[in-house]
Structures are given as C-alpha cells and as structure tokens.
Amino acid sequence: MSARGRFITLEGIDGAGKSTHHAWLVDYLRGKGHPVVSTREPGGTSLGEKLRGLLLVEPMHLETEALLMFAARREHLAEVIEPALARGHWVVSDRFTDASFAYQGGGRGLAWEKLRQLEQWVQGELQPDLTLLFDLDAGLARQRLQGTGNAPDRFEREQQEFFERVRAAYHRRAEECATRFYLIDARLSIEKIRESLEERISSDC
Ligand SMILES: Nc1ncnc2c1ncn2[C@@H]1O[C@H](COP(=O)(O)OP(=O)(O)O)[C@@H](O)[C@H]1O
Ligand SMILES: Cc1cn([C@H]2C[C@H](O)[C@@H](COP(=O)(O)OP(=O)(O)O)O2)c(=O)[nH]c1=O
C-alpha cells in the first residue's frame, strides 16, 4: 500500500497571488515526479462547481453562505481529496477551510465556534499538512486585482475594511495552527516567492 499523500493548501485575501503560485507549484511538484491533484474551493467537484457558481453571485444569509461552503467541502473531501491522499497522491488546493474562518468568520462576523463545529463535522481530524498563507495588505491586493481587468465577483466587490478583517482572521488562524502554516510576504516579486516556496517544499520532497 502506498503512503498517504501530502495535502497542501494556498490561502490569502483576493489578489494576494494564490492562483499564480498554485499553477507554478503544481508544475513544480509534477516536475519532481509526484502525482499531483490540482484543485480549488469552493469547487473541485461537479456539484461543488455548481455551488461555487451560486456562492460567487447570489446574495444570501451569512449562515447559508457558510453552510454551502462546507457542503461543497464535504463533497470535495469525499470525491477528490480523501481518495487522492489514500492513493498516495499530492493534493494542492487553492483555498480550503481556513478561508471559511477568514471570510465568513473574520469578514462577515460568523462566530469562530460555529465554524469550528462545522470543521469538526465535515473533516474530523483531517487537516492540510502545509498551508501557504500569502500575506498582503488589502490596498495592494485591490490594486493587483484591478490590474487583471477581470469583473469582480460578490466577494471581490467588498470594501477594503472587509479584506482587512479577512487578513486579520487569517493571522489568527495561523497562530492557532502554527505548525502547518507558512507565511509568505506577498509584496515580494514572483521570483522571490518561488525561491522561498522551493526552499520550503524541497524539505518535503
Ligand atoms: N508577487 C507578485 N508581484 C506582483 N504581481 C503579482 C504577484 N503575484 C501575483 N501578481 C499579480 O497579481 C494579480 C492577482 O494575482 P492572483 O494570483 O490571481 O491572485 P489570487 O489568486 O490570490 O486572487 C495577477 O495579475 C498576478 O499576475
Ligand atoms: C473556500 C472559500 C472561499 N471563499 C471566497 C473567497 C473568494 O473571494 C471566493 C472565491 O475564491 P477564489 O477561487 O480564490 O476566487 P478567484 O479565483 O476569483 O480569485 O470565495 C469564502 O468566502 N469562504 C470559503 O470557505
């Protein structure tokens, strides 16, 4: 039987650089010969992508939003993440549960304890082995997002103060789960960030 694979997640406020480095990291790991499942949240399954379509567009009650995030996650775990890890594959996900603590908890004000209950219900003891937190101030992240020219979704249209709260909640989560978090100064150049990721990941593979 193969050893369990490794589970890596990328987190940070919108515009911090997750998608850019997610694509690079997946290629890097495949180049090292690892079988890698590249995925994202909300989404990652056929049902999850449909829920994503609703979550990014439809106005809804805060608790509905949190429950749908965790419903999509339950499906993602059952259909994609757990089977891949059991096969010995690496899973690299653009966002996971820390995003719910940051956005629904920090951004929207849902009680941390309710999020902990959902986390326990949906994933039990399973946690990422490594979480790369792209840390950037909300003003710079907004400028970068505007530079892409893409139409903002329901979250990206939030005010700067919302993203400041999201960032602070990510910091809280990083303190609570310090052993699996790796903080990245996302003000650095893409090249410098890649170097630091390479250094961090090479100790694992
Ligand atoms: N370290 C960086 N320095 C400058 N620009 C960056 C950096 N990382 C990403 N970008 C640019 O910022 C924009 C948002 O990056 P993206 O990876 O889509 O962010 P996210 O997935 O976190 O929302 C893109 O145009 C990307 O090319
Ligand atoms: C996974 C997750 C995402 N989100 C939000 C954060 C993002 O604004 C949005 C979509 O995530 P993302 O895929 O990062 O958006 P994009 O590809 O457009 O950069 O969903 C939550 O609010 N809670 C969650 O649990």
Q: What is the ipTM of this complex?
A: 0.97
* Cis bond upstream, residue 83 (ω within 30): no
Does ligand 1 come within 6 angstroms of the Cβ of 127? no
Radius of gyration over every alpha carbon of the chain, rounded to an integer in angstroms: 16
Beta-sheet strand order (sheet of 7-12): 36-40, 90-94, 7-12, 130-135, 181-185
In 3D, which of 19, 42, 36 has the Cα closest to residue 193? 19
Atom of ligand 2 nearest to the CA of 95: 1
Q: What is the pLDDT of residue 202?
A: 85
CA of 3 to the centre of ligand 2 (A): 31
Give the span between the Cα atoms of 170 and 103, in whole angstroms.
9
Q: Mind listing the pLDDT tens digit of every residue in the chain (205 residues)?
A: 568 899 999 999 999 999 999 999 999 999 999 999 999 999 999 999 999 999 999 999 999 999 999 999 999 999 999 999 999 999 999 999 999 999 999 999 999 999 999 999 999 999 999 999 999 999 999 999 999 999 999 999 999 999 999 999 999 999 999 999 999 999 999 999 999 999 999 877 6
Q: Do residues 75 and 48 lie in contact, with contact meaning Cβ atoms separated by under 8 Å?
A: yes
Does ligand 1 come within 6 angstroms of the Cβ of 193? yes
Quote the tokens at residue 109: 């004000």
Give the span between the Cα atoms of 42 and 69, in whole angstroms.
6
CA of 41 to the centre of ligand 2 (A): 7
Domains and CATH numbers, the chain: 7-202 (3.40.50.300)
Q: Which ligand is nearest to the CA of 17?
A: 1
Please check if 15 is assigned to a binding site: yes
Q: Which residue CA neighbors atom 27 of ligand 1 most closely?
A: 20
CA of 16 to the centre of ligand 1 (A): 6
Burial class of 165 by CB neighbour count within 10 A (0 to 12, 13 to 18, 19+): buried
What are the φ and ψ backbone dihedral angles of 11, each rounded to 5 degrees? -135, 165
Q: What is the pLDDT of residue 194?
A: 98
Does ligand 1 come within 6 angstroms of the Cβ of 174? no
Q: Which ligand is nearest to the CA of 70?
A: 2
